[in-house]
Chains A and B, each alone.
Chain A
Amino acid sequence: MGVIVILIIVSVLVAGGFLLAFIWSVKTGQMEDDYTPSIRILFEEVIKEETK
């Protein structure tokens, strides 16, 4: 039974990882524009990466 405790802790930690990823994505502004990236992906050339 003890293994379940470990499994559950791991599963919560994994889920927590996704939560952190979400928070990071909001913080870096990835949720601000949900349309332009869909246009940008069609361009053939690579758009310069954000410098900052």
Chain B
Amino acid sequence: MLSMPKSSCYHCGADCDANIKIDEKLFCCEGCKMVFQLLDENGLCQYYDLSDMPGIAAKGHFVSEKYNYLDNQTIQDQLIQFKLEGQAHVVFYLPQIHCVSCVWLLENLHKINAGIIQSQTHFEKKEIKIVYNPGLITLKELVQLLSFVGYEPVIHLGGNDWLKKKKVNKKQLFKIGIAGFCFSNIMMLSFPEYLSNDALELGNLRPFFIYLNLLLSLPVLFYSASGFFISAYTGLRQRWLNIDAPIALAIVVTFSRSVYEILTQTGAGYLDSMSGIVFFMLVGRWFQDKSYDSFAFDRDYTSFFPLGVTVLQSDQELNKPLSELQKGELALIKCDEMIPADGILISQSAIVDYSFVSGENAPIEIKQGAMLYAGGIQKGRAIHMEVVKPVGQSYITELWNSPLLKSEKNTEKSFVHPWSQYFTIILFAIAITSGFYWSLHDPHKILPAVTAVLIVACPCSLLLTVTFTYGNVLRWLGKQKLYCKNASVIEAIHKIDTIVFDKTGTLTQQEATQLEYEGAALSKSEMLAIKSVTKESLHPLSQMIAQYFSTKVEGVVEVNHIENILGKGTKAHCGEYDIMIGSVSFLASHGIQREDNYVGSMVCLAINGNFKGVFKITHTYRVGMSNLVASLKNKGYQIHLLSGDHPTEKNNLLKLLGTDIPMKFEQSPEDKLNYIQMLQSQGHRVMMVGDGLNDAGALQKSNVGIAVTDQSHLFTPASDAILEGDEMNQLSALIEYSKKAKLIITLIFSLSICYNIIGMYFATRAQLSPMVAAILMPISSISIVALSALLSFLFSAKIRSKN
């Protein structure tokens, strides 16, 4: 073990001052110590040797009832991939996986519990596949064990899309493999033809080579290239000439002419060029389609809700899948659980955090009989609620059924397609002209010249340029922690002229509300009294105040006559003090007027009937937001701000972002969606930057929706791209870089036009020998790929040095 600062936890590396230790090893909490003990007992301490303090802080992961729903058979069937006698396979998503130690521990789980037969992690997807014996360990116990060692699985409905994706990937790899095999063999077998002076030298071996080539080219034509034909056909049926159409035509023409030459024994054909170009284009598509496996871009609301819910039936707690939750049922929501459907509160009171749904910052206290909306998170004690609407019809889920969202986005054709159309038109013009020319001079050369033109000048170089450039740009953006869903997002970014920001969680940091006291100085005993009173209430703001004082004074004193008034505040007697903490109106109703002029979210404090001061609740803005907005404005973007929160922060925002920005507050998810719609109907192309479920509609509707996330890609609503919160200040540079993609493509495409002109020179003279084609094709392909990589790198270096 390397030396480490004494004050950090041996398990998770958190600062610790408590005296929890085993043989000189310090721990920050009992939780971490317990995890260590478990690993120690099972001889798994190598976990701590592989990396420094690898553990995940074990805070609150011991709520075992949380997973009771996993005992339900329907839910188990959804999760378990397949089951055999004494064996079940299950895959979990564990976002906490971050280092070598994680992999090591997770793959050695079988040492802790004999019921686990084998576990295998996928680091990049952050997934674990576990094979276990259901007779020895239940699914619930398995999840509890994972949570205990710090890897709490994220279990949600509809998380099995990856199976489909896998199959597509495999098919693509097969096509590349077969094309590569055929291409390389055809090339080898073509050498004798190119290098021999005339047919005589090869003698009767020549037909052997040529027919073998023909045989090898069949899988390329019928299997590897099938994607181009299908895409061209679907395009043509929609009366649209996409880039695949001229490519498919070129492949067919090349193949037919080669077959014709071979059968008439007039030549060897261009089979090597044909299979080569198919191979390169497939590799290009594969390179561009690099996907970020651990991200889910297409989540709908179902992925945010828990799988199961606890229902009370004749005083019995029953776990059932969320989808079976009926109207009128009594649901039990425990602390930190999500409200699964709209309902009425049966319990006395609830404290619900709606920040994810509405963007409101502070949790809200809700009284008996009031409505609870799906998506809120209960922050206090367990509550009972009566379900009034099934899951699919809740306020938040209705948004997904909005007709505004039904329209497909980014259906606009890429700028590449019009280019390829012009290209095709010019190509046909040249082919016809040369055909016409030869019909006057030497009719025998019409067919060779026309087919040669079509062979040489297929827009495959355009396709190669585009796929490799987008592939490079996507990768670089990914390195800068902006993960795009696909290449069309980059093109959509080009056209953006308006950027709309959400406030909570986007401009401000998630879960970083700060509290500060301002007012008359407080004595030690007063502070102690306040701390003791606020500790009694479960209200999050009250808890925050208690936390605020816990660093200033030690211990607690006895509190008498405590009175919590819902939605207002707390009144209590403590020692010699009469303490009142609550809203302005709460104090005013007791005849106390506030004596300050702070505007914003706050809690007031009065002692013995005298106003003392306020606790200001402030947001922490992300670093560099004001620079980011200024730089975006400089580049000519219109900036808007939409917030679901109250306008209390408006002055701060004006100072931070400038006064020329339209700001809208108290926006419902639907308002945000309509606002984007309104901007678009004015002809703007809108980028929405948001984070929560409340932005989901707007993200979906906008031309480019970027979801900002802080906790490594948990809970991002459906979006086109995912940006890590710490990189928010880089957004301007990232947009600039993605705009460079078009420039790179233009540059390289002009180069490939030069190649085409050379090829055209030979083709129109009906002099295109297979050898010229065989030389020109790899040279142009390889130089395009190399240049694309080089330019992408140069531009990225330039933008990096600027920052």
Contacts and interface: CB of A to CB of B under 8 A. Distances in A.
A48 to B, nearest CB: 5
B212 A23 contact: no
B181 A19 contact: yes
Nearest to B131: A51
Nearest to B177: A22
B121 interface: yes
B123 A26 contact: no
B208 interface: yes
A47 to B, nearest CB: 6
Contact of B122 (A1, A27, A32, A51): A32
A5 B110 contact: no
A8 B189 contact: yes
B17 interface: no
A33 B124 contact: yes
A31 B173 CA distance: 9
Interface stretch (B29-37, B99-107, B277-285, B546-554): B99-107
Contacts of A4: 205
B104 A35 contact: no
Max count, chain A CB within 10 A of own CB: residue among B123, B166, B205: B123
A34 B103 CA distance: 14
Contacts of B87: 51-52
Contact of A5 (B104, B131, B208): B208
Interface string A33-52: 11110011011110110111
Contact of B104 (A15, A27, A43, A50): A43
Bin chain A's interface residue count.
20 to 34
Contacts of B121: 36
Contacts of B117: 51
Interface in B157-178: 166, 169-170, 173-174, 177-178
B110 A35 contact: no
A35 B205 contact: no
A12 interface: yes
B203 interface: yes
B767 interface: no
Interface in B8-25: none
A28 to B, nearest CB: 10
A22 B104 CA distance: 28
A43 B50 CA distance: 9
Interface in B117-170: 117-118, 120-125, 131, 166, 169-170
A48 B118 contact: yes
B188 to A, nearest CB: 8
B184 interface: yes
A1 B202 CA distance: 9
Contact of A51 (B118, B185, B188): B118
A15 B185 contact: yes
Given A39-B103, A40-B103, A26 B170 contact: yes
Contacts of B181: 15-16, 18-19, 22
Nearest to B46: A44
Given A1-B203, A47-B107, A48-B110, A35 B123 contact: yes
B699 to A, nearest CB: 29
Contacts of A8: 189, 208-209, 212
Contact of A19 (B123, B178, B188): B178
A18 B185 CA distance: 12
Contacts of B212: 8, 12
Given A8-B212, A27-B170, A39 B120 contact: no
A48 B87 CA distance: 16
B208 to A, nearest CB: 6
A39 B131 contact: no
Nearest to A43: B104
A43 B123 CA distance: 15
A44 B87 CA distance: 27
Interface string A7-30: 010011001101100110011000
Given A8-B189, A15-B181, A23 B174 contact: yes
Nearest to A42: B100
Contacts of A16: 181
A21 to B, nearest CB: 10
A12 B118 contact: no
Contact of A35 (B118, B124, B185, B188): B124
B84 to A, nearest CB: 9
Nearest to B129: A50
Given A15-B185, A43-B104, 7 more contacts: A5-B205, A11-B188, A32-B166, A33-B125, A34-B124, A39-B104, A51-B87
Interface of A: 1, 4-5, 8, 11-12, 15-16, 18-19, 22-23, 26-27, 31-36, 39-40, 42-45, 47-48, 50-52
| Top-9 shortest CB links A-B | A36-B123, A19-B181, A22-B177, A26-B173, A35-B123, A33-B122, A39-B103, A35-B124, A39-B100
28 contacts: A1-B203, A1-B204, A4-B205, A8-B189, A11-B188, A18-B181, A19-B181, A26-B170, A26-B173, A26-B177, A31-B170, A31-B173, A33-B125, A35-B123, A35-B124, A36-B121, A36-B123, A36-B124, A39-B100, A39-B103, A40-B103, A42-B50, A43-B104, A43-B107, A48-B110, A50-B118, A50-B120, A51-B131
